């Protein structure tokens, strides 16, 4: 499984629709302070289902919508689409490409889509759990996170280890079964 592209529109500083294509090898993002590098990573985190506005440096979730600038009015909707190469069927979906889309409106309504079909947030979480790309994984390590992992309480640290080992999925399924 590989990232193919990330399309950002109306999310944080990306007022205009911006598509980033990923090629073979490592991709580096460079630019001056405040140019939106971290916003790109947060767009990736958000489309994968991030539920904490704080983790995205905001107060409430619709703070991710473009808030306007000196020359542009605020927008009413943010949308991010991530396209993954799934030709190896790493994700449990029978298509060579998987498109994950998330939208949010000013009134707080949000939508999640897999291959352009409306789904629940849970379907997105289930798809990525134990793949190493889920929101509790190590695939995104932000400034300060390294320290947070080392300073975390034993139980929290255990959760990171369980995610890496791939047992979180079974724990969540067990919990859901017990709650029924
Ligand atoms: P650094 O090199 O300092 O880490 P960076 O390239 O990572 O910078 P970001 O933190 O991604 O920069 O971008 C910050 C910019 O995004 C700020 O100018 C901020 O005003 C803008 N921004 C954040 N949220 C919004 C929003 N909702 N609407 C418009 N602009 C936003
Ligand atoms: Mg940054």
Q: Report, as an integer, the average pLDDT of 37-66.
A: 94
User: Are 100 and 153 within one domain?
Assistant: no
User: Are 55 and 114 within one domain?
Assistant: yes
User: Are 79 and 163 within one domain?
Assistant: no
Domain membership flag for residue 11: yes
Name the pLDDT band for 145 (thresholds 50, 70, 90).
confident
Domain membership flag for residue 34: yes
Domain membership flag for residue 154: yes
**Segments forming the whole domain that contains residue 178:** 141-180
For residue 30, the model assigns a pLDDT of 97
Neighbouring residues of the ion ligand 2, judged by CB less than 5 Å: 37-38
Asked whether the beta carbons of 126 and 100 are under 8 A apart, the reply is no
Nearest CA to ligand 1 atom 2: 33
User: Are 169 and 90 within one domain?
Assistant: no
Q: Which of 29-33, 79-83, 127-131, 151-155 has the lowest mean pLDDT?
A: 127-131
Phi, psi of 34 (to 5 degrees): 80, 10
Domain membership flag for residue 135: no
What CATH number does residue 61 fall under? 3.40.50.300
Q: Report, as an integer, the average pLDDT of 69-79.
A: 97
| pTM tops 0.90, yes or no | no
Q: Into how many domains does the chain fold?
A: 2
User: Are 150 and 77 within one domain?
Assistant: no
**SS3 of 43-112:** HHHHHCCCCCCHHHCCCCHHHHECCCCCCCCCCCEEEEEEEEECCCCCCCCCCCEEEEEEEEECCCCEEE
User: Predicted ipTM?
Assistant: 0.98
Q: How many CB atoms lie within 10 A of CB 34?
A: 9
Domain membership flag for residue 118: yes
Angstrom CA distances, 16 to 10, 11, 53, 78, 177, stand at 6, 9, 22, 10, 44
Beta bridge partners, 119, equal 112
What is the Cα–Cα distance from 157 to 151, expressed in whole angstroms? 9
Of the three residues 88, 107, 130, the one that is the final residue of a domain is 130
Tokens standing for residue 171: 């724990």
Domain membership flag for residue 7: yes
Tokens standing for residue 178: 């017990």
**Dist. CA 122 → ligand 1 center (Å):** 29
Query: Residue 76 annotated as binding?
Result: no
């Amino acid at each position: 499984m590989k990232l193919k592209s990330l399309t950002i529109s109306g999310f944080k500083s990306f007022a205009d629709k911006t598509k980033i294509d990923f090629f073979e090898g490592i991709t580096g993002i460079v630019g001056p302070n405040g140019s939106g590098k971290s916003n790109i990573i947060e767009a990736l985190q958000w489309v994968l289902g991030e539920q904490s506005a704080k983790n995205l440096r905001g107060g409430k979730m619709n703070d991710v919508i473009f808030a306007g600038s000196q020359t542009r009015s605020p927008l009413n909707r943010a949308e991010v689409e991530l396209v993954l190469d799934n030709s190896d069927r790493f994700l449990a979906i029978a298509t060579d490409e998987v498109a994950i889309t998330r939208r949010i409106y000013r009134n707080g309504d949000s939508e999640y889509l897999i291959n352009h079909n409306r789904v629940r947030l849970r379907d997105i979480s289930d798809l990525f759990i134990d793949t190493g790309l889920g929101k509790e994984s190590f695939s995104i390590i932000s400034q300060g996170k390294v320290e947070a992992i080392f300073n975390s309480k034993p139980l929290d640290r255990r959760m990171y280890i369980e995610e890496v080992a791939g047992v979180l999925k079974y724990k969540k399924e067990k919990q859901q079964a017990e709650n029924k």
